[in-house]
Amino acid sequence: MNKHGDRLVSGATQTRRFGVSMITPTLIVLLILTAYPLIFTFYYSLTDYNLLKVLKNPAHFIGLKNYTKLLGNEYFRKAIWNTVKFTIFAVIFEMLFGFIMATFVNSLRKGQRLLRTLLLLPYLLPTVTVALSWRMMLSPNYGIINQALNSLHLPVYNWFSDIRTAFPLLLLIDIWQSSPFVFLLLYASLQAVPQDQYEAAKIEGATTFETLIYITIPNIKNSLALCALLRTIDSFRLFDKVNLLTGGGPANSTTTITQYLYNTGIKVFDFGFGSAGAIVMTVIVLILASAYIKRAMG
């Protein structure tokens, strides 16, 4: 090989080494923050580790007993169903409303910046603030919603203690707060769609619906898949709103997997049982994420 070829090989080797040296610290941090806790969580899930008893009785290896206890529990199966149901409805409506907002704002010639800022406000608020604000508005005693209904001589509700209204309200609050996230990602994608495609469609006499189906959606399909994936993962691990507003009640109608694990594991320091639940939830999320990624790449 000539000197020029040697220099090319040497340069490629140095570039590769530089890339490895730059990414190595990040990989080490990720391993420490993710792989290490995951390994120990799996280990604890195979033991009867309880923080309150560990000083007197060290944790013992019990195999898959935590998993059989967990999967055989009626309330855990109910929590899985609630979580799946919540995730399906939340992702569908958040994607729908986010897409509608993104296409509407993108179609405006004036006022995009102001409207974009206003629409993003719910997502910028802390979840605790959102939950407490809604709890105050829907309070059975002094909430503005019940006062308005009472003034109109309509029936009032104890919203978060009624099995008919608790779950739909949690869903509504999550959709209200998280739809702007979908809007933001899809709006950014719409900004990158080539305008000449729209002009060509207009010249060809395509309707608004045909333009949406054959130009807009194909150009942002990867962003749609990414939004759906991120919202699925986030919805599946819902905890804060449930814990603050209903605690999983009434009658376990709003119990999610995370709330169940908190009530039956973490809250009573039964970390072995809680760890088993965390592993099960992780496996479910990985299956869902893999399905999304496979479809997006395909």
Closest CA to 79 of 143, 164, 202, 167: 167
Q: What's the pLDDT at 31?
A: 81
Q: Is residue 35 part of a domain?
A: no
Residue 8 has pLDDT above 50, yes or no: no
pLDDT at 268: 80
What domain range includes position 130? 67-297
Is residue 40 a part of any domain in this protein? no
Please report which confidence band the pLDDT of residue 7 belongs to, taking 50, 70 and 90 as the band edges: low
Confidence of residue 286 (pLDDT cuts 50, 70, 90): confident
Rounded to the nearest 10°, the torsion over CA 31, 37, 42, 48 is: 160
| Domain containing residue 215: CATH number | 1.10.3720.10
Q: What is the mean pLDDT of residues 94-122?
A: 90
List C-alpha distances in Å: 208 to 6, 211, 214, 219, 220. 58, 5, 10, 15, 16
| 154 domain residue, yes or no | yes
- Average pLDDT, integer, range 59-77: 87
- Per the structure, the count of domains in the chain is 1
pLDDT tens digit sequence for 191-232: 888 888 888 888 888 888 888 888 888 889 888 988 988 898
In a domain, 17, yes or no: no
Is residue 274 in a domain? yes
Per residue in 134-186, pLDDT tens? 999 998 888 899 899 888 888 888 889 889 899 999 999 999 999 999 999 99
Q: Please answer whether residues 217 and 251 qualify as being in contact, where contact means their C-beta atoms are separated by less than 8 angstroms.
A: no
**Three-state DSSP class for 61?**
strand
Pick 106 or 19 by higher pLDDT. 106
Query: Residue 5: exposed, middle, or buried by beta-carbon count in 10 A (0-12, 13-18, 19+)?
Result: exposed
Q: Is the pLDDT of residue 237 over 90?
A: no
